[in-house]
Amino acid sequence: AQTVTQSQPEMSVQEAETVTLSCTYDTSESNYYLFWYKQPPSRQMILVIRQEAYKQQNATENRFSVNFQKAAKSFSLKISDSQLGDTAMYFCAFMGNNAGNMLTFGGGTRLMVKP
Partner 1 sequence: DSGVTQTPKHLITATGQRVTLRCSPRSGDLSVYWYQQSLDQGLQFLIQYYNGEERAKGNILERFSAQQFPDLHSELNLSSLELGDSALYFCASSVASGSLHEQFFGPGTRLTVL
Task: Classify each residue of 76-113 as buried b or exposed e, where b means 16 or more C-beta atoms within 10 Å of its C-beta.
Answer: bbbbeebeeebbbbbbbbbbbeeeeeeebebebbebeb
Nearer to partner 1, 10 or 15 (CB): 10
Q: Which is nearer to partner 1, 34 or 82 (CB)?
A: 34
- Residue 37 CB, nearest approach to partner 1 (Å): 8
How far apart are CB 112 and partner 1 at their closest, in Å? 19
Q: How far is the CB of 115 from partner 1 (least distance, A)?
A: 28
Handedness of CA 87, 15, 81, 78 (dihedral sign): negative
Surface-to-core class of residue 71, CB atoms within 10 Å of its CB (0-12 exposed, 13-18 middle, 19+ buried): exposed
Instruction: Give 25 or 37: the residue with its C-beta nearer to partner 1.
Output: 37
Residues that bind partner 1 (CB under 8 A): 31-33, 37, 42-47, 50, 52, 91, 95, 97, 99-108
Nearer to partner 1, 33 or 87 (CB): 33
